[in-house]
């Protein structure tokens, strides 16, 4: 028998203030970051392969949404900070050993690359918006503003392949980092697996592909539905490796992963919402569609997006749960 009693207050859950670590903000950010990474990588690949005519949404249109998603993600991150006025401190230093520091600088790289890609594809992707901006720039700032706008556009267009080449490592970096952010904590055995990096990257690219499927029509939709099916397959495989890794690691990791197998409410949540609804069902629907089945077009990609968000919620929440449970054992 071993019983541990804490006779004076430890910093423990309901028994103490200031104990909370991460709530809903972090999974939302991790999802939006992954989605942005997926959009960047897929759009860059399509630009490099000159697929503007064949796949207009993926090449020229979807990229406009990336800065919106990442900005909402960063807003969620900001909401999570408890010492908000000091947020600028992220950008007064670079800490080599801190994944979060790497992430904050990667986020700063994402914006310019993203905006240059938007400028380079705006005319083809959103001709009406492009025309409107051009017209407004003439009416507001006269020829000078219009001149700046046109030269920015032509500069971006001239080097479009270069932006795409930069966007791929930046996107992959962003996607992997969202996973490593969780995995780099030896104190949290359920996260302590570097395979979360590839897992979140594949899941992010899959979410990006799902978004393109939602927006596209005809041949493009079918093409990306197929790509998404392959990505879902890869994600299931990486998820399997995550379980193998955790189940064969140290005792604390074996115990922690059982939260997702049989030890907590997170187990049914994980298998129903992440694996079944978020991965297996959309893969099945997309497969049915290739066989000529009638499935509402919005359904499979929506499920994929939902699954991506659910995966991050489950992982973040499972760790909080593990923390509470290990403290409850102590009390």
Stretch that binds another protein, among 80-88, 164-172, 226-234, 240-248 (CB under 8 A): 80-88
Tell which one of 63, 99, 166, 309 touches another protein (CB under 8 A).
99
Q: Is 49 in the site for another protein (CB under 8 A)?
A: no
| 75 lies in the binding site for another protein (CB under 8 A) | no
- Binding segment for another protein (CB under 8 A), chosen from 78-86, 223-231, 261-269, 287-295, is 78-86
Q: Restricting to residues 205-264, which ones interact with another protein according to CB under 8 A?
A: 250
Q: Are 171 and 37 in contact (CB under 8 A)?
A: yes
Q: Tell me if 168 sits within 8 A of 45, measured CB to CB.
A: yes
Instruction: Supply 289's token pair.
Output: 């569609």
Among 89, 136, 161, 217, which residue sits at the site for another protein (rule: CB under 8 A)? 89
Helix (H) or strand (E) holding 102: helix 99-125
Give the single-character DSSP code of 248.
T
12: contact with another protein by CB under 8 A: yes
* Minimum CB distance to another protein, residue 246 (Å): 16
Site stretch for another protein (CB under 8 A), options 114-122, 170-178, 180-188, 291-299: 180-188
Residue 121 or 246 having the CB closest to another protein: 246
Question: Per CB under 8 A, does 291 bind another protein?
Answer: no
Question: b vs e for 65-76, b when ≥16 Cβ sit within 10 Å of the residue's Cβ?
Answer: bbbebbeebbeb
Q: Residue 194 — φ and ψ, nearest 5°?
A: -65, -15
d(Cα 297, Cα 213) in Å, to the nearest integer? Answer: 8
Q: How many CB atoms lie within 10 A of CB 220?
A: 20
- Cα separation of 300 and 214, whole Å? 9
Closest CA to 229 of 296, 266, 281: 281
Residue count, binding to another protein (CB under 8 A): 47
Least Cβ distance, residue 30 to another protein (angstroms):
13
The site for another protein (CB under 8 A) is made up of 1-12, 16-22, 80-84, 86-87, 89-90, 92-93, 95, 97-101, 103-104, 184-188, 250, 323, 327, 330
């Amino acid at each position: 028998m071993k019983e541990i009693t804490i006779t004076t207050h430890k910093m423990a859950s309901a028994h103490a203030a200031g104990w909370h670590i991460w709530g809903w903000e972090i999974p939302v950010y991790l999802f939006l970051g992954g989605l942005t990474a997926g959009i960047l990588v897929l759009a860059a690949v399509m630009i490099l392969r000159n697929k503007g005519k064949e796949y207009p949404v993926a090449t020229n249109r979807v990229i406009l949404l990336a800065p919106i998603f990442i900005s909402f993600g960063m807003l969620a991150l900001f909401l999570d900070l408890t010492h908000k006025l000091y947020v600028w401190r992220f950008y007064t230093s670079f800490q080599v050993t801190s994944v979060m520091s790497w992430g904050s600088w990667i986020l700063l790289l994402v914006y310019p690359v993203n905006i240059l890609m938007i400028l380079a594809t705006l005319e083809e992707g959103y001709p009406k918006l492009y025309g409107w901006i051009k017209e407004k720039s003439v009416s507001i700032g006269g020829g000078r503003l219009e001149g700046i706008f046109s030269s920015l556009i032509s500069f971006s267009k001239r080097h479009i392949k270069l932006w795409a080449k930069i966007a791929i490592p930046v996107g992959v970096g962003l996607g992997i980092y969202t996973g490593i952010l969780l995995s780099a904590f030896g104190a949290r055995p359920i996260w302590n697996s570097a395979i979360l990096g590839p897992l979140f990257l594949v899941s992010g690219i899959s979410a990006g592909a799902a978004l393109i499927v939602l927006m596209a029509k005809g041949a493009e939709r079918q093409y990306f539905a197929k790509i998404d099916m392959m990505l879902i397959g890869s994600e299931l495989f990486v998820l399997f490796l995550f379980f193998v890794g955790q189940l064969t690691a140290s005792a604390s990791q074996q115990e922690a992963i059982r939260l997702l197998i049989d030890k907590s409410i997170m187990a049914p949540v994980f298998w129903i919402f992440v694996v079944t609804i978020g991965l297996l069902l959309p893969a099945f629907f997309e497969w049915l569609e290739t066989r000529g089945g009638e499935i509402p077009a919005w359904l499979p990609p929506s499920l994929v997006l939902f699954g991506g968000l659910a995966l991050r919620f489950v992982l973040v929440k499972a760790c909080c749960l593990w923390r509470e449970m290990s403290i409850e054992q102590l009390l």
